[in-house]
Amino acid sequence: MDTILEVRNLKKYFKTPQGDLHAVDDVSFSIMRGKTLGVVGESGCGKSTLGNLIIGLLTPTSGEIFFEGREISKVQGEERRNLFKKIQMIFQDPFSSLNPRMYVEQLIAEPLKNFRVCKNKKELEQRVTELMEFAGIPQRLRYSYPHELDGGRRQRIGIARALALDPTFVVCDEPVSALDVSIQAQILNLMMDAQEEKGLTFMFISHDLSVVKHISSDIVVMYLGQIVERASPKKLFKDPLHPYTKGLLAAIPVPSAERKKRSILRGELTSPINPGKKCRFANRCIYAEERCRCEEPVLREIMPEHYVSCHRAEEINSIPSQAEATESNR
């Protein structure tokens, strides 16, 4: 299996009157072809900015994004157009992302027309029919407008549009957060079917860990523009290592009988404007010490394929540090 997307030291700062807002700050990761990377964090953690950088809606302040081995900022003209055919996006709010003056057939045909994919009208209509069938949209809704449909059907149109150009990589930005719980499951199942059938790779952005758990091969947790933890869903849910991830997991509602001692997130958020060289979670962390307020932690592998950015991760989780492990092996 090869790496389809690699992000190296990616930064996106926005100028504000108060200073630079560090929306994405030195983020690096890669995604293997056919897998799903879940990206979770609270509103404002930079996860949607990250998605917009990858699909080319925003230009990075610095850093590199490699797609299928090519640095995307260096690809220009017709080649760039072809490259971005392979990278598509499913948006959070299907209602605001669909043109209210277009009916279903026109909405699904739009990307096909823009990229002149079909040779003639008949082929275009046939392709729209196939996409509607795949996305589970009944043909009788072909001439319906978005306001005549429920949220689930509108999101099915969003998925049909995203798949119209046969992409290999899809950024899914909170695709189910605006939907009822029962509809969420249907849309997630549709996305997993699409992944299996078409060999798609997903970057699945969500504020809800329980949603990404079911669809992801690997999860990264973001906090104020940085990755603070990366692991498989199994490891992350069983043994979260970062105090922030522990807080996010504790915030997932569970029946009272299963409720354990919870580490609820409290305290003031650090400003994302010129945050300085320190742990950005320090204001909310019950384990914070002096070092946390003057030295920025780096993401490191402290258990096999489990990465965390915290000075005190070993201590907090009773894991022997590298020096202790070497000493006990002597």
Q: Quick check: 91 binds ligand SF4 (CB under 6 A)?
A: no
What does the angle CA 328 – CA 330 – CA 297 come to, to the nearest 5 degrees?
A: 50
Q: Quick check: 223 binds ligand SF4 (CB under 6 A)?
A: no
Helix (H, G, I), strand (E, B) or coil at 257: helix
Q: Quick check: 41 binds ligand SF4 (CB under 6 A)?
A: no
Helix (H, G, I), strand (E, B) or coil at 122: helix
Closest approach of Cβ 210 to ligand SF4, in Å? 22
231 to 250, contacts with ligand SF4 by CB under 6 A? 243
Q: Quick check: 288 binds ligand SF4 (CB under 6 A)?
A: yes
Report yes or no: 318 and 300 within 8 Å, Cβ to Cβ.
Answer: no
DSSP secondary structure of 184-215: HHHHHHHHHHHHHHHT-EEEEEES-HHHHHHH
Q: 128, 190, 292, 299: which one contacts ligand SF4 (CB under 6 A)?
A: 292
Q: Quick check: 281 binds ligand SF4 (CB under 6 A)?
A: yes
Residue 311: phi, psi to the nearest 5?
A: -60, -35
Judged by CB under 6 A, the stretch of 138-146, 200-208, 305-313, 317-325 that binds ligand SF4 is 305-313
Closest approach of Cβ 227 to ligand SF4, in Å? 13
44 to 83, contacts with ligand SF4 by CB under 6 A? none
Judged by CB under 6 A, the stretch of 28-36, 39-47, 68-76, 280-288 that binds ligand SF4 is 280-288
How many Cα atoms are found within 13 Å in the side-chain-facing hemisphere of 328? 7
Q: Quick check: 317 binds ligand SF4 (CB under 6 A)?
A: no
Nearby residues of 29 by Cβ (< 8 Å), 6 or more positions away: 6, 7, 37, 220, 227, 230
Residue (of 119, 123, 63, 54) closest to 83 by Cα position: 54
Binding footprint of ligand SF4, residue count (CB under 6 A): 12
Q: 297, 306, 307, 314: which one contacts ligand SF4 (CB under 6 A)?
A: 297
Q: Give the residues lining the site for ligand SF4 (CB under 6 A).
A: 243, 279, 281-282, 285, 287-288, 292, 297, 310-312
